[in-house]
Amino acid sequence: MNQDIKTLIQSMPKAELHVHLEGSTQPETVLELAQRHNKLDSLPADDVAGIQQWFTFTDFPHFLEVYLSIQDLIRTPHDVELITYRFGEDMARQNIRYREATVTPYIHIHEQEKGLAIEDLLDGLEAGRQRAKKDFGVEIRWVFDISRQSSFIHSEGVYDPEPADITLAYALMGRDKGVVALGLGGYEVGTPPEHFAHAFECIHQNGLLSVPHAGETGGAESVWGAVQALDADRIGHGVRAVEDPDLLEHLKEKQIPLEVNLTSNLCLHVFPDLVSHSFLQMDKMGLMLTLGSDDPPLFSTDLLREYTILADVYGYGAEEILRVARNGFLAAGVEADVKTSLLQEFDAFASSYLG
């Protein structure tokens, strides 16, 4: 990668639509939270190097184990504010102007015994994002996602609608504190999108986007389910749509954005290597693709590195990189006036850079 492209990737304004707040917690903060709550014994290591090693996954269930352990350390509104503020600080480092961060409220409030209420969670998120906006000039919005694993009793294969209904209620409560979408996350195998249609039925009527994960650990049928049953405005991942040519044509025709996370897909063995990844094929076909880092410290990546892959592996030049970057702003669920301002900033940068 030449120096000009490296400078472009660092300096261009960026939007990131697929990144998890809890999964963005750095090892230093994990240790700080564990010390704060006298829970160092719950971790496999007591130093940064050891925590980073713990983040090296073997499979998706291992990933969920680590992720839930991090969530358990977030126990007060002050903790939520801390991780949100540092999330914003990280945005400034990478010149990410806008992020939609996924948060899973049901697990914090109903599955982990820590006395955190939805009001506490919303207050912490709001305090952190407002401080980050004041100190770093960044815009943060929230995707409240339904946990697939919370919704199924796997030993019995029974679906429980309550976690989805509660998460929907929480998302609607948070609209005036930055919640812009309802998501659906977790392990797709055995948890098809169709089960969750009841929670997504009223999303658009209430001004929220439908942004389920699909086509990561599940195949093309999972993406079809998200599109048809959940009326998805965007798809988290969606990379296994490549398994169905008809689905690819549908996504292209409707220009439904896919939130692609290259390094995450490798770490979780969705693809064996970057050359085999479906990004290049889908982009050449004309699908609308955005880039995200998913859970950056857990995958030893960040958004800068994801864009670097476009240049180093796929040979993208400045115009192609800027095109993908602009998609992130176009697909954002932020209020219209903020989106217009962000797009104007990006277009002015791109115009100046390309001359």
Q: Which residues are catalytic?
A: 216
149, 187 in Cβ contact below 8 A? Answer: yes
Q: Which residue has the tokens 């996350």?
A: 185
DSSP three-state, residue 199: helix
Spatial distance between the Cα atoms of 8 and 12, rounded to a whole number of angstroms: 6
Alpha carbons within 13 A on the beta-carbon side of 201: 8
151, 161 in Cβ contact below 8 A? Answer: yes
For residue 210, the cross-strand partners are: 182
Spatial distance between the Cα atoms of 79 and 125, rounded to a whole number of angstroms: 10
DSSP three-state, residue 16: strand
Q: Calculate the dihedral angle through the C-alpha atoms of 116, 118, 119, 125, rounding to the nearest 10 degrees.
A: 90
DSSP three-state, residue 175: helix
226, 212 in Cβ contact below 8 A? Answer: yes
Radius of gyration of the chain (CA): 19
Instruction: Please enumerate in sequence order all residues whose Cβ is within 8 A of that of 95, keeping only pairs 6 or more positions apart, or say none.
Output: 10, 11, 12, 13, 14
Closest Cα to residue 299, out of 72, 40, 25? 25
From the number of C-beta atoms within 10 Å of its C-beta (0-12, 13-18, 19+), residue 68 rates as middle
Show the CA angle centred on residue 229, arms to residues 226 and 233, nearest 5°: 50
